[in-house]
Structure 1
């Protein structure tokens, strides 16, 4: 029996995402129109629309659909804006950001994941305004400034270098803290330093290089 992915996509939005207070029409349209199953590894394709994280390799995971919906809604990307994504992963969230933004620059530590994500976006005709580079977020630098930044792996604390890539009053989505009770936040650049808005609790694997230093108890 062949799975009806289009129907599964609609049910994901109506039964998972919308009940978690994701009500932004543009976000819901992106989630219902972009085929998430095209970004999932073949062995997990049957779980494309399930309420679970899906492994991508290298210890990376696709976020749950509800978390992706909350990320997109909280960052509130507008049509004329430029976005930096730190951690391309499967490329699904990248595609959604591309649908919402003017331009997306996404960086991914693992070259094979970056290549696979680029191939997926191009195959679906979703890569026109998206650039994907293999790069380490802690070695990467750019003179560009972005309206929004999405960090797809958890951080112990928000790195100052990430905030430097924001335009004045730009906003950054991140998940910070210690597992299992991490906090999703939006940080906005202000005159007296970043203003942090707490959104919800979740739990994500750490971005490579952003985990807390190990503590030794004597």
Structure 2
């Protein structure tokens, strides 16, 4: 994994302020905060939005999709990794590639699937330009997972599902974790599932708002 930096002192200072905000909002894992500081978020958004890249807010990336707010990227990453996980991670919904880059800074290998061709192409080019050599991207239906490389220590889903996707849950290694937003009767909640010998441990983490998880490709 190759450390990457921002362009100019303004981006470096903005990333430092963002790291301080994440710590203030409850992110405790210093590895995660360091990874968020390291990844140049301004390179994952349109140039016109670059001045807003280090604000703690979601931003549009086209095709009705968004780059998640840095807090949510850090929160999901922290929930997935602590404690003692993971070596290999499957990400469903590459989007801009920002969450992918944060994960790649922390684990041995990231496999990521994107269903929108134009987003997949841009993310692939961006991550290669930034020399993330431990990332493998795929254009396809994320709900099917990536059986070729299963089982995964962790699975992170960046869109809200109506229920736990069974095909993805089946690709978790014993003791592995899945972090995803789920739709419910009273809104969306962020959930962490841990695979046990029999069934899954289910933890509700907090209320969230994500775009819906869709099947197929576009």
**Taking structure 2 as the reference length, what is the TM-score of the superposition?**
0.88
Residue 124 of structure 2, aligned match among 110, 118, 141: 118
- SS of corresponding position for 1:118: helix
Distance 1:101 1:123 in 2: 19
- SS of corresponding position for 2:147: coil
Deviation of 1:60 (Å): 1.1
1:129 aligns with 2:167: no
Distance 2:86 2:166 in 1: 25
Q: 1:72 to 1:168 in 2, by over 3 A?
A: same
- SS of corresponding position for 1:175: strand
Residue 24 of structure 1, aligned match among 29, 35, 39: 29
Distance 1:51 1:24 in 2: 18
Deviation of 1:191 (Å): 2.6
- SS of corresponding position for 1:10: helix
User: CA RMSD for the aligned pairs?
Assistant: 2.0
Which consecutive unaligned segments of at least 5 residues does structure 1 have? Answer: 211-218
Aligned to 1:49: 54
Distance 1:80 1:207 in 2: 24
Paired residues of 1:180 and 1:202 also in contact (CA < 8 A): no
Paired residues of 2:56 and 2:70 also in contact (CA < 8 A): yes
Distance 2:29 2:146 in 1: 32
- SS of corresponding position for 1:177: strand
Q: Deviations over 1:132-175 (max 9, x none)?
A: 11111234541421000000111111111110110011000000
Paired residues of 2:115 and 2:140 also in contact (CA < 8 A): yes
Distance 2:166 2:144 in 1: 13
Paired residues of 1:179 and 1:203 also in contact (CA < 8 A): no
Matches within 5 A, 1:3-152: 4-15=10-21, 17-76=22-81, 81-125=87-131, 127-143=132-148, 144-152=150-158
Deviation of 1:61 (Å): 0.9
Paired residues of 2:144 and 2:167 also in contact (CA < 8 A): no
Paired residues of 1:166 and 1:189 also in contact (CA < 8 A): yes
Q: Deviations over 1:64-98 (max 9, x none)?
A: 11111101111117686001000000101101111
- SS of corresponding position for 1:138: helix
- Runs of 4+ with >4 A deviation: 77-80
Distance 2:48 2:184 in 1: 30
